[in-house]
Amino acid sequence: MSQEVRNLEPTVMWNHFADLNAVPRPSKKEERVIDFMVQFGKRLGLSTIVDEVGNVIIKKPASKGMEDRQTIVMQSHLDMVHQKNASTVFDFDKEGIKMFIEGDWVKADGTTLGADNGIGVASIMAVLSSETIAHPPIEALFTIDEETGMTGAMGLKGGLLDGTIMLNLDTEDDDELTIGCAGGIDVTAKGTYSSEPAGSGVSSYVLSVKGLTGGHSGMDIHRGRGNANKLMNRILWKSREKFGVRLNSVDGGSLRNAIPRESSARIVVKSTVDVGFHAFIQMEMEAIQAEHSTTDPNLKVILEPCDGITTVLVEKDQDALLRAIYACPIGIYRMSPDIDGLVQTSNNLARVLIADGKYSIQCLTRSSVDSEKMDEAEMIKCVFEQIGSSVEFGGSYPGWTPKPGANIVKVMNEIYLELFNDEPHVMACHAGLECGILGTNYPTMEMISFGPNIKGAHSPDERVQISSVHKYWSFLMETLKRIPKA
């Protein structure tokens, strides 16, 4: 299935991408891809090290005639988001990604593609392995765990790199040069609840919300896409008010940095109201579908009978949880007053798990202003502390302050204008890039991020545009040629 991808141009890059996608590489389980990169560097005879947290650094001298140029760091992350459609049978721990071409796009068969950040990794591998590409001295930095904590970037020590310019190959629009990004923090509320017998004369059901578009909780948060956890909670709350629905468990969302696409709940309702309850769920689905027809055209709400449920949350605990989740903010909190169109602060209600007497509610709060990031995090903390939850902050990472006057920004702006007869959008983004973290130990390094068009990152709809990869590749090649002298 992936062979046709190997035949695309530039073949050297696409072949490295196919090789990389054959290696399972979930966040926090990067042992196999770390070894893959180490063996790659050693086969080329290049200086290759693994630092104490697992980042791989491969150094390559300048090509002939480029020895007097500044040393550059080419940086991408090794891990990828592992998500699949509920109907897809696939083992991320054992199988390589199954890719195919559809029109101008490379896609995966029911799973995430790994173009985020595999295209960047493959691009660096292509430069390292080439004997014909003109380039300055290169330090290739392959970080780990970008998607679930950025612990690779956080653990990189000062003094390992000598580069004065960093090219981060981890953005997803080919007409943009990114020079700043948001920071983030995980907010997790945990607690326990009491259960009681479900009683007699009840019908048991699995209620599912599925088919949402999902996407990246930073780059796509402004698109107004439905959040499966919030929609499920809305339906449960109204069902509880109108029909006395009682809750057994909820399992919604998956990854902190993915807008949740699916949620399921096990519930009971008095058998005497079955007919009315079914009609109510149909009406709710139609209302929600109408609200989200543009952003989530495949949204479905499904009610299916299940084996008899014997226990439910006591009403006091059920109502407290549903109220708190209802009050938890999602989406945009504030737009930037300084940069048009930039989301400044947001929250993603990423994961809701209620089962076996315990609950866990996980959010990822982002902002390009650290004080405002903490303000929204404190807001969420207060919401859940009202019901007695234990709330923890973790995984906090800084934003990346834009420096529009940096020399590399000027150079790449000029190159883009020459190549494509248009000016790029020089901007900051709401995603969490590693540049801000890496800059804490390398504060004088000029940094810029760019990449080809990638859509649907962090979801099974992820795809990368073939024609855009051509454009991005020519831009990268010309940039390498024009790195300023040391």
Which of these is catalytic: 146, 220, 317, 376? 146
> Is the sign of the CA dihedral 448, 137, 64, 9 positive or negative?
negative
Between CA 437 and CA 234 the distance in angstroms is: 37
Q: Give the three-state DSSP class for 443.
A: coil
Q: How far is CA 89 from CA 66, 92, 111, 253, in A?
A: 49, 10, 10, 18
DSSP, res 272: G
Tell me which residue has tokens 């579908």. Answer: 289
Between CA 178 and CA 175 the distance in angstroms is: 10
Beta bridge partners of residue 108, listed in sequence order: 99
Between CA 301 and CA 281 the distance in angstroms is: 8
Q: At a CB cut-off of 8 Å and minimum separation 6, what does 273 contact?
A: 243, 244
Alpha carbon 221 to chain centroid, angstroms: 11
Taking alpha carbons only, the member of 70, 72, 39, 81 closest to residue 56 is: 39
Which of these is catalytic: 30, 79, 220, 434? 79
Would you call 19 a catalytic residue per the annotation? no
- What is the CB neighbour count within 10 angstroms for residue 56? 24
Would you call 338 a catalytic residue per the annotation? no
Asked if 418 and 411 touch (Cβ cutoff 8 Å), the reply is no
Between CA 308 and CA 383 the distance in angstroms is: 33
Asked if 19 and 96 touch (Cβ cutoff 8 Å), the reply is no
- What is the CB neighbour count within 10 angstroms for residue 237? 16
Q: Which two tokens stand for residue 83?
A: 């998500």
Between CA 358 and CA 249 the distance in angstroms is: 10
Beta bridge partners of residue 60, listed in sequence order: 138
Q: Are strands 138-143 and 358-367 parallel, antiparallel or unpaired?
A: unpaired
Between CA 325 and CA 104 the distance in angstroms is: 41
* Phi, psi dihedrals of residue 8, rounded to the nearest 5°: -70, 160
Q: Which residues are catalytic?
A: 79, 146
